[in-house]
Chain A
Amino acid sequence: MNDIQLVSNPALGPLQGILTQVALGLVLLALVFYVKNNLVRSTKDFVIANRKIGFGFGVAGLISIWTWAMAVMMSAAMTYQFGLSGLFWFTVPNGLAVIAVIPFARKIRQQMPNGYTISEFVGARFSGSKLAALVVTVGMLFGSVIEVIINIKGTALVVSSVFGVNPHTAALVGLGVILAYSILGGLWASMSTSTLTTLFITVPSAIVVVAALHQVGGAGPVWDAVSSKGGEWLSVTRADAAGAFGITLALGLLTATIAGQEFWQVAWSLKKKDVSRTFLWAGAWFYPIPICLGILGLIGLALKLDLTTHLGGDAAAVGPYLISHIGLPTWIVIAYVFVILSACYSTIDGAFTAISSVFVVDIIKKVWPNIRERNLLISAKVPMIFAAAVAAAVVVSGADFVTIVLTTYAIRTAILVPLMLSIFWPRMTGAGFVWGTIGGIAIGMPLRSAYGELVGSAAILSISALVPIALGLLSKERFDFESLKQVRDAAVAADSDYPPPAQELPAATSA
């Protein structure tokens, strides 16, 4: 291990970086052209894939959508910082967060088969409470925009650090590429390209890690070097890993999936028979990705990489730094960047389609219920451009988006328990939803500032649970969930000649 020289690869220049970004985009664009020409004929196809996503595309699409660019790097980062305990606390809740959607997705497909968005569900569930739907709509839009920003920032940093591309250029090229194919094909484009990027994430990861292990002398020296640091580095029972990030990360992950429009959109787009098993298989087969890439963190430990000197104070840089500084062939380095770009592109296109569905269903159709199909389809694409522009502006300007992140975190965490209660508990009321959410944010966020994430999150969850439960028990109302089956299919325009099969819509919704 001592004779490894940490030097950057001189063959990696900005042109290779840009070409790698564009090359992946062209491959995905070619697929999307086929998808667009054969599967996207209406707004309903664009926004919800006409609810025809099958088991295979569902599993692969979910894996890729859930594998953020940051997650690819964070698995190694947490391993580097906490050893196998870091990898454990990063990985195990991650897959579980996807699996945990199952009971909610299953129930919501039964209750509201024509649904599109979480905010639509909340609006229909609490028909007297526009505030509840508004809070959720804002939370969903912010959440998706934040996903775009975080992923494009992470990717731009990696591409710039490996290839020397200007990070603003890398961000703009990435956003442009993703927007180009997302705007053509909507959710069909997202799920089909994400199916391909799951392959691009998994196979190259295996190759890169095996090559990296060989380059540093093999698994033996790596394991011995980490083991010599102390037994806690190869143990999964370090309490500091759980306390430092594990528990709050687990909560954040659950919030991101159960209260994430990207996942509800997939739940509504899947064929009915495939909903439960798709989320199970996706969560289960997501696990190998961080389990494999976490090994880069062990290599970083074995090589005694210094957090400040080598990684600029950011543990997330351990993977990119290692791959580009241990003398690996250029094509291996490019393969690693390909993994990150694939993770980035698939997550961002998922976020774009989520924004599109919220915009169409919760804003456009509410304001213009008789909008024509052609205009509805255009309105489905416009918010993607807007979201890309906002993300580009934030990244290029260097604007601090911490406030947006905190707002999104607050709203999503605060609606998590009320949302869960709304799906399963007939006594849940609109007032309980609103006051539980507002109370959770109003009390929890100051506590978070004063006492840290764990206390803050616990406070938000407790208040957002206790208030609705108390108000629900005091109320005599019991919601009839059967009424949600009457919710009309919102992405079908007034003049649409798109005929849904007769079995899909209940008779009460016919015009």
Chain B
Amino acid sequence: MQQLVSPGTALTILAGVLISGFYIHYMWAALKKAVRTRDDADVGEDTYRRSFFGAVISVVVSAIAIRVYGLGPFLLYLGPIAALLSPIAVTFCLREELVGS
């Protein structure tokens, strides 16, 4: 009988479910905050100074991530790992939006 899922797939599903739980929690909380603060004035200014540095890091890391696929078979799993890191990063952003002033 065919296995429903492989151990690797089961692990990925488990990680995905956990990540999704946090993601939806912070998304919903940030949405409710947006409703509560919808009439507040937007008083901040864009003082972010790491754009260029961040751009360089992003491009270099993405290029390296693709390059390392060619170094060995197990490194192919970096792709799915990266795909799970993305919603984790977004969850962080939603949390920032929630707790930020």
Contact = CB atoms under 8 A, between A and B. Distances in A.
B89 A223 contact: no
Contact of B45 (A211, A273, A277, A286): A273
B99 to A, nearest CB: 11
A84 B69 contact: yes
Contact of B76 (A100, A235, A295): A295
A206 B46 contact: no
A89 to B, nearest CB: 10
Contacts of B13: 207
A51 interface: yes
B82 to A, nearest CB: 4
Contact of B87 (A51, A96, A202): A202
B16 A236 contact: no
A95 B100 CA distance: 26
Given A88-B63, A298-B76, A501-B39, A206 B16 contact: yes
B1 interface: no
B30 to A, nearest CB: 5
Interface stretch (A31-39, A309-317, A343-351, A473-481): A31-39
Contacts, number: 247
Contacts of B12: 206-207, 210-211
A96 B34 CA distance: 29
A291 to B, nearest CB: 5
A168 B3 CA distance: 36
A504 B73 contact: no
Interface in B24-46: 24, 26-27, 30-31, 33-35, 37-46
Nearest to B101: A273
Interface residues of B, number: 71
Interface string A275-297: 11101110111111101111100
A99 interface: yes
B51 A291 contact: no
A207 B59 contact: no
B62 A207 contact: no
Contact of B96 (A50, A56, A95): A56
Contacts of A95: 58-59, 62
Contact of A210 (B4, B9, B67): B9
Contacts of A91: 62, 66
Interface of B is mostly: helix
A220 B55 contact: no
Contact of A503 (B6, B41, B55, B61): B41
A196 interface: yes
Interface in A52-111: 52, 54-60, 63, 84, 87-88, 91-92, 95-96, 99-100, 102-103, 106, 109-110
Interface in B1-24: 4-6, 8-9, 12-13, 15-16, 19-20, 23-24
Contacts of A293: 79, 83
Main secondary structure of the interface of A (DSSP, over half): helix
A56 B27 contact: yes
Given A219-B77, A273-B45, A501-B40, A57 B97 contact: yes
A271 B44 contact: yes
A63 B85 CA distance: 14
B62 A63 contact: no
Contacts of B79: 206, 209, 288, 291-295
B5 A211 contact: yes
30 contacts: A54-B30, A54-B33, A54-B97, A55-B96, A55-B100, A57-B30, A57-B34, A84-B70, A99-B58, A103-B51, A199-B90, A206-B79, A211-B5, A211-B6, A219-B77, A234-B69, A273-B45, A277-B48, A280-B48, A280-B54, A281-B54, A284-B57, A284-B58, A287-B65, A288-B85, A291-B78, A291-B79, A292-B82, A293-B83, A501-B40
Interface of A: 34-35, 38-39, 50-52, 54-60, 63, 84, 87-88, 91-92, 95-96, 99-100, 102-103, 106, 109-110, 192, 195-196, 198-199, 202-207, 209-211, 213-214, 218-220, 222-224, 234-236, 271-277, 279-281, 283-289, 291-295, 298, 329, 501-504
Interface of B: 4-6, 8-9, 12-13, 15-16, 19-20, 23-24, 26-27, 30-31, 33-35, 37-48, 50-51, 54-55, 57-59, 61-63, 65-67, 69-70, 72-74, 76-87, 89-90, 93-98, 100
Nearest first, the 5 closest Cβ-Cβ pairs linking A and B are: A273-B44, A56-B94, A234-B70, A223-B73, A501-B41
